[in-house]
Amino acid sequence: MSNKAETIYAKDKAEVQVGNRTNIYHTNDSCLADLRSTDPRDDKTRIERTKGGLLEDSYRWILNNDNFQQWRNDEQSRLLWIKGDPGKGKTMLLCGIIKELKKQTANLVSYFFCQSTDSRINNATAVLRGLIYLLVCEQPLLIPHVRKKYDQAGKALFVDMNAWVALSEIFANILQDPNLDSTFLIIDALDQCVSDLPHLLDLIVEKSSESPRVKWVVSSRNWPNIEEQLETVGQKVKLCLELNERSISAAVSIYVKHKVDRLARLKEYDDKTRDAVQHDLSSNANGTFLWVALACQDLEKVPRRNGLAKLKTFPPGLDSLCKRMTEPIRNSDHSDMCIDAFAEIRNRERPSSNRSPSPSPSPSSKRRPPVATVPGQALFLAARKGNKNLFLRILQSGTKITEVEPDGTTVLQAAAEKNQLDVVRSLIFFGADPNLGGGRTRSPLLAATDRQHEQVVAALLEANADPCAVHPEAPPLMKSAFHSTLYHQNSEILSMLLGARADLNVVPGLLQYACSIGTFDAVQQLLDNTNMSTNLDINKVSKDEDFFGTALRVAVINDPALLS
C-alpha cells in the first residue's frame, strides 16, 4: 500500500489510515470554524435590533435613486460608494440594500460591518475573513481555495503576521473562480476600520476593476483620505447623502413616526402630546437619524408630564445635542480632563490630512498625566456617571473597553459598582469580559453584589459572569459573589446566583461562612437549592483560618445554644 495520500476535502472525517500511520486531515467544518472571526449575518441582525429594526419605508428611496440604478444596471459600474456625515443612516441603508439583493436567489451576497470599538471587526484582515467566510458558506464549491493553504498552515493562516497576504491571495482566487455566481460584496463604515485601512482600500480599488460578475457597495464618512483612494476607481458611482437631502429627510420623518409610535405606547401619550413630540422631533432632526435616536432615548427616561418640556431643551442638529449632553460632565470637578479628552477625540475623528493644529495646552493640563491616557480616564468617568451617550462617543473615538485603572479595576467593574445598568449592558454588548477585574471589588459581579445592585447582577449573570469565581487573598466577605451576598443577607441576589447553576463545592468554605455570620435562612436556601448541578457537600472541611472545619462545627462555635 502506498504511504502517500492526496489532500482530502472531507466534511465529516478527520482521520485517514495510511500504512501504519494515522494522518490527520482538516475538515471543511474545522476550516470554516478557524476562518470565522465573526459571522456577518449575526452582526447584521444585532445592528438592526440595536437600532430598533429595519424599516423598509426608510430605505426604499435608494432603490429608485438614479445613482443606485446606474450602478445596478450598468455592467461597467462596478463600485457604488455611499458617503455621508455621521448619523445619516448609512448602516441601515446598507442593511436594506443587502435585504433587497438577497431577494433575488441568483445573487451571491457577502458583506461586512466595521465597528471601531470592536476588535473583532475593526481591521482590514477581519473584513477579508468575514467576506470569504460568507462566500464559502453560501457557495461551498469555493472552499478548496481556502483549504489549499489551510491544510498546510491550520488556523495560523488567518491570524499570523502574514494573514493579510494569504487571505488576499485566497480572495483573488475566489473572485476568479468560474463557479462564482453573480456576486455582490458590501462593506459598511470604511472609516471604522482602524487598522490597515489603506490595505483594504487598495484591495477594493484593484478588485473592483477586475471581474464583471462582481459588484461592490461600500460606505463611509466624508473623509478625504478615503476619497483620494476611491477616486482612482474608474468604474464607480458615488452617492452622497448630503446631495439627497429630500430623500433623507423623508426617510427620517418615517423613522420619527416609528419612534414616536413606540414612545406613545410606552408613555401613554394622548394625541395632543404625541403630535407635539412628532412635530418637534421632525423639525429639529436636520435629516439625522442619530439625533432622533438620542432625543427619544432621553424622552424614555423622563415622566410623561415632563416630556414636552424636556423636548424643548434639545437643540437642533447632532453637534449641538452632543454638546448639551456633555454639559453635566463639563461642569464636574473633572471638566478640564474631559475637555482635553474631547479635544483629542475630535482630532482622532478627523483624518490626518484634515487635522487642524493642536491648541496650546491649558495650565491645568501641565499638572495632569499625558493626554494619551486621558480618553481612558474620561471613559471611566462617563461609565461611573452613567452618561451613556458620552460614554458611547468616547468608545467611538477608538478608546478601548479594555482600559484598566492602576489597581486593575475595569470599565465594566466601575459601571457595575455605580449601578449604571445602561452602561453595563452597552459594555457587555461590545464584548467586555464580565469575569475580568481588580482592585477592592475584584470583579464586576462582586462589585454589583457588594453594592446589592440586583439588575446589574442579573445582566452580568446573563452575560456568563462566573458566580463561583474565588479571590483567596480577599477578606472573607469579598472572597466571592456568594460570600458578599451572604454578608448582606440579600435573598433575591442569592436566588439569582443559585439560578446560574453554580457548583457551590468549588467555592471554599461557603457553607461555613454562612454559618459563621449566623445567616441560617441563607444556609437553608443553599441546602434547599434545586438548581445546583451537584449536591452541596455539608461534611466538607474548610481549611480557611477564618472558619476552619465543617459547617456544623462553625455553626456550633458561632451559636453554642445549638447544642442545648
**Contact call for residues 341 and 387 (beta carbons, < 8 A):** no
Q: CA torsion angle for 321, 327, 329, 333 (degrees, to 10)?
A: 170
Q: Does the pLDDT at position 503 exceed 60?
A: yes
Q: Hey, how many other C-beta atoms are within 10 angstroms of the C-beta on 165? A: 12
Q: Does the pLDDT at position 114 exceed 80?
A: yes
**Mean model confidence pLDDT for the chain:** 78
d(CA 16, CA 25): 7
Comparing 500 with 357, the larger pLDDT belongs to: 500
Is 563 found in the same domain as 512? yes
Is 158 found in the same domain as 197? yes
d(CA 61, CA 69): 11
Is 299 found in the same domain as 195? no
Is 286 found in the same domain as 225? no
Give the CATH number for residue 538: 1.25.40
Q: Return the percentage of the chain with pLDDT > 90, whole number.
A: 35
pLDDT in tens, 193-227: 988 899 999 999 999 988 888 999 999 998 888 99
Q: Which residues contact 12 (CB under 8 A, 6 or more apart)?
A: 27, 29
Q: Does the pLDDT at position 519 exceed 90?
A: no
Give the CATH number for residue 110: 3.40.50.300
**Contact call for residues 363 and 393 (beta carbons, < 8 A):** no
103 domain residue, yes or no: yes
Q: Is residue 152 classed exposed, middle or buried when 0-12, 13-18 and 19+ CB atoms within 10 A define those classes?
A: exposed
Question: Measured on CA atoms in the order 39, 40, 41, 47, is the torsion positive or negative?
Answer: positive
Q: Does the pLDDT at position 532 exceed 50?
A: no
Helix axes 28-35, 144-153, angle to 10 degrees: 80
d(CA 449, CA 507): 16
Average pLDDT of the segment spanning 65-77: 93
Domain membership of residue 38 as a residue range? 32-234
292, 323, 354 - which closes a domain: 323
Q: Does the pLDDT at position 288 exceed 70?
A: yes
Pick the closest to residue 45 from 98, 123, 118 (CA basis). Answer: 98
Comparing 346 with 218, the larger pLDDT belongs to: 218
Is 298 found in the same domain as 204? no
Is 217 found in the same domain as 84? yes
Q: Is residue 290 classed exposed, middle or buried when 0-12, 13-18 and 19+ CB atoms within 10 A define those classes?
A: middle
**Contact call for residues 56 and 195 (beta carbons, < 8 A):** no
Q: What is the pLDDT of residue 475?
A: 78
Q: What is the pLDDT of residue 370?
A: 29
Q: Where are the beta strands (DSSP E) in 236-302?
A: 236-240
The winner for highest mean pLDDT among 53-62, 129-138, 522-531 is 129-138
CA distances from 528 to 68, 509, 522, 536, 559 (A): 64, 18, 10, 10, 22
Q: For residue 369, what pLDDT band results from cuts at 50, 70 and 90?
A: very low
Q: What is the pLDDT of residue 355?
A: 38
53 domain residue, yes or no: yes
pLDDT in tens, 477-497: 788 898 888 888 888 898 888
d(CA 561, CA 339): 63
Of 101-105, 147-151, 203-207, 432-436, the one with minimum mean pLDDT is 101-105
Q: What is the pLDDT of residue 517?
A: 59
Q: What is the pLDDT of residue 379?
A: 86
**Contact call for residues 507 and 482 (beta carbons, < 8 A):** yes
Q: What is the pLDDT of residue 325?
A: 55
DSSP per-residue string spanning 155-180: THHHHSTTHHHHHHHHHHHHHT-TT-
412 domain residue, yes or no: no
Q: What is the pLDDT of residue 492?
A: 87
131 domain residue, yes or no: yes
Q: What is the pLDDT of residue 525?
A: 66
**Contact call for residues 512 and 551 (beta carbons, < 8 A):** yes
Q: Hey, how many other C-beta atoms are within 10 angstroms of the C-beta on 80? A: 24
d(CA 180, CA 186): 16
Pick the closest to residue 61 from 199, 236, 250 (CA basis). Answer: 250
Residue 112 cell numbers, joined? 461586512
Is 215 found in the same domain as 299? no
398 domain residue, yes or no: no
Q: For residue 11, what pLDDT band results from cuts at 50, 70 and 90?
A: very low
Q: Does the pLDDT at position 545 exceed 90?
A: no
CA distances from 172 to 77, 142, 168, 232, 292 (A): 20, 12, 6, 20, 42
Of 23-27, 66-70, 426-430, the one with minimum mean pLDDT is 23-27
d(CA 156, CA 148): 14
**For residue 326, which phi and psi values (nearest 5 degrees)?**
-90, -5
**Contact call for residues 431 and 120 (beta carbons, < 8 A):** yes
pLDDT in tens, 232-244: 988 889 999 999 9
Number of compact structural domains in the chain:
3
Q: What is the pLDDT of residue 157?
A: 94
d(CA 144, CA 320): 53
Q: Does the pLDDT at position 82 exceed 70?
A: yes
Residue 30 cell numbers, joined? 474545522
pLDDT in tens, 415-434: 999 999 989 988 887 888 99
Q: What is the pLDDT of residue 483?
A: 84
323, 352, 385 - which closes a domain: 323
Q: Does the pLDDT at position 70 exceed 60?
A: yes
323, 342, 362 - which closes a domain: 323
Q: For residue 183, what pLDDT band results from cuts at 50, 70 and 90?
A: very high
pLDDT in tens, 26-49: 588 999 999 999 999 999 999 998
Q: What is the pLDDT of residue 527?
A: 63
d(CA 324, CA 340): 17
Which amino acid would we find at residue 362?
S
Is 304 found in the same domain as 161? no
Measure CA 315 to chain center. Answer: 29
Is 81 found in the same domain as 160? yes
21 domain residue, yes or no: no
**Contact call for residues 85 and 245 (beta carbons, < 8 A):** no
Is 262 found in the same domain as 218? no
Q: What is the pLDDT of residue 505?
A: 72
**Contact call for residues 141 and 70 (beta carbons, < 8 A):** no
Average pLDDT of the segment spanning 495-502: 80
513 domain residue, yes or no: yes
Pick the closest to residue 248 from 64, 51, 97, 62 (CA basis). Answer: 62
Q: Does the pLDDT at position 1 exceed 90?
A: no
510 domain residue, yes or no: yes
Is 278 found in the same domain as 164? no
Residue 358 cell numbers, joined? 493642536
Q: Is 158 left (phi over 0), alpha (psi -120 to 50) or beta?
A: alpha
Q: For residue 377, what pLDDT band results from cuts at 50, 70 and 90?
A: confident
Q: What is the pLDDT of residue 540?
A: 57
Is 286 found in the same domain as 192? no
